Amino acid sequence: MSARTLAASVFLSAGLALAQGPSTVLIDSNAHGCAHQGATLPNGQTAAASVRFDYDAATAILQVTVKNLLAAGSPATTPVIDEVFFNAPAEAVSSATLISQSAAGTVQPNFRLDFDDDSESAPVLISSSCFGEFNFCLVAQSNGSGVASAQATQTCELGSGPFLLEPTFRIHLQGPGVHGLDSSSFAAAASRSWSHRRVNIAATFTDGNCSQRATVANGHECNTAVFLRGTPRIGDAVQLCVAGNNQCRSFIGVSATPGPELFKDYILPIGTPVLFTFDFGYFPQNAHEFQLPLQIPMDWGIIGLELHWTSLTHAYEVFSDFRFAPAYTMTITGI
């Protein structure tokens, strides 16, 4: 048994993901653009939006909530969001079905879901400007019927409203890895591309008379998430995985106590004492996931034991901005 495998069997005895709550990705002034400059939209506004992922691993239902955070436009017409692109860890999801869509206001969403289970291989089904290939895309079914800002007083085609505000889409997933994911797995999964910038989410804003469109993507690239591949049982082998991209570095941390907990200037998502057991190093430019093989001991005494995981990350050679992945709780199960 190698030192790495031994460490995995001692510290990384696997488990089943528990619900960790939603994860949100922002598009803000740090966002990336393609044909335009940075986060600036064609009407001069700075792109602003949020996409919240809330995933139930037991039922494999993903809730995606889209919020347009633009201020009222000047001129008055405010862009709407009519496309939202996002990802899942590679080969974890083989099919996706949009089972419901709703909003709190009088206007209800009318979007379709496009899905590509293998965004790394031809043919490419879902691509967004300069941001590469994605697994999922939510698309408004008619021009100007996208997600409006709560501050909007006028949008293209719909005039002065009412508008579609903050819709939630419920998506049922199937595939070999769906029960090992959590909300942060979708927030940290990156678009696939050898030549384009890899991002977590992208959104298309439609402006003015519905003819000007711009796609922007989140600018905080060192997002990571811990998840599991395989069915965790005593005596079985699984893969502990960290999703990430863009040459960010990842250290795995584990604790027997849940968090969050304040530690000096940082809020740890897991409790102390915490052991950072493994340094994956920097994500290669063409990689979006690290995997660590785990052999779960055949020990009936560890059934029910909970371990809490996180990933500590920073950008390439940047040591002033450390981030933690949301906590991932695993419970060892019997055969």
Q: What confidence tier does 242 reach under pLDDT thresholds 50, 70, 90? A: very high
Domains detected in the chain = 3-16+221-331 (2.20.130.20), 22-217 (no CATH)
pTM value? 0.88
pLDDT tens digits, 24-42: 999 998 888 886 567 888 8
Q: What confidence tier does 48 reach under pLDDT thresholds 50, 70, 90? A: very high
**Worst-scoring range by mean pLDDT, 12-16, 76-80, 270-274, 308-312?**
12-16
Query: What pLDDT does 125 receive?
Result: 74
For residues 266 and 179, the model is more confident at: 179
pLDDT at 7 over 70: no
pLDDT tens digits, 280-324: 988 887 778 899 888 889 999 989 989 899 999 988 888 778 889
Mean pLDDT for 193-206 is 83
Taking the CB of residue 79, how many other CB atoms lie within 10 A of it?
A: 30
Q: What does the block give as tokens for 38?
A: 């940075």
Query: What pLDDT does 158 receive?
Result: 64
Contacts for 159 with CB less than 8 Å, ≥ 6 apart:
none
Report the percentage of the chain scoring pLDDT > 70. Answer: 88
Residue 244 near residue 310, CB atoms below 8 Å: no
DSSP 286: T
Query: What pLDDT does 143 receive?
Result: 73
Q: What is the largest CA-CA distance in the chain?
A: 68
Query: What pLDDT does 25 receive?
Result: 95
pLDDT at 18 over 60: no
Mean pLDDT for 5-15 is 35
Query: What pLDDT does 288 receive?
Result: 84
For residues 154 and 333, the model is more confident at: 333
pLDDT at 8 over 50: no
Residue 166 near residue 108, CB atoms below 8 Å: no
For residues 190 and 36, the model is more confident at: 190
CA 157, CA 141: separation in Å to the nearest integer? 14
pLDDT at 231 over 90: no
**Worst-scoring range by mean pLDDT, 116-120, 160-164, 326-330?**
116-120
Q: What is the average pLDDT score of the chain?
A: 85
pLDDT tens digits, 111-127: 999 999 975 666 567 88
Query: What pLDDT does 138 receive?
Result: 97
Angle, CA of 108, 57 and 65, to the nearest 5°: 25
Q: What does the block give as tokens for 206?
A: 């439609």
